Amino acid sequence: MSDLKGDPHGTDHRRHPRFTVEEKLRAVLTRPDGTEIEAAVRDVSAGGAALIVGSNFHNETFVDLHMEGFGRVNARVARQFREGIGVEFNLNEKERAEIKEELIKFRKAGGRGRY
């Protein structure tokens, strides 16, 4: 990942390269009770995303995530940070490969990051 602000020594050991979103990418989270919450995608990978959201979520909560231009994916809240949450996508390997291809296309169309 090109964005190692939180890791000055470059020891980020994520399973999938992270892709920083240049401009705010709109997203909508749907809670298990059907409540929809607007969010913005800060960064995304084939394994998950960091979302800027003004609402509280508990770790391990499952949500449906709709990202503008990418569609809908089931995800689990994996962590919280000051501005929002990190989610891990609930995907099989075929779906993960498809998202990775979409991210590569998005990057080539003007996004920022490294693959």
Q: Mind giving me the DSSP string for 26-59?
A: EEEEE-TTS-EEEEEEEEE-SSEEEEE-SS---T
**Cβ count near 16 (within 10 Å):** 17
pLDDT at 75 over 90: yes
Segment 51-66, tens digit of pLDDT: 999 999 999 999 999 9
What are phi and psi for residue 98, nearest 5 degrees? -65, -40
DSSP state of 93: H
Residue ranges covered by each domain of the chain: 19-108
pLDDT at 16 over 90: no
DSSP-derived 3-state class of residue 9: coil
DSSP state of 89: E
More confident residue, 40 or 22: 40
Global confidence as pTM? 0.77
CATH number for 19-108 (one of 3.30.70.3340, 3.20.20.240, 1.20.840.10, 2.40.10.430): it is 2.40.10.430
Q: Within its chain, how far is the Cα of 60 from the centroid? A: 15
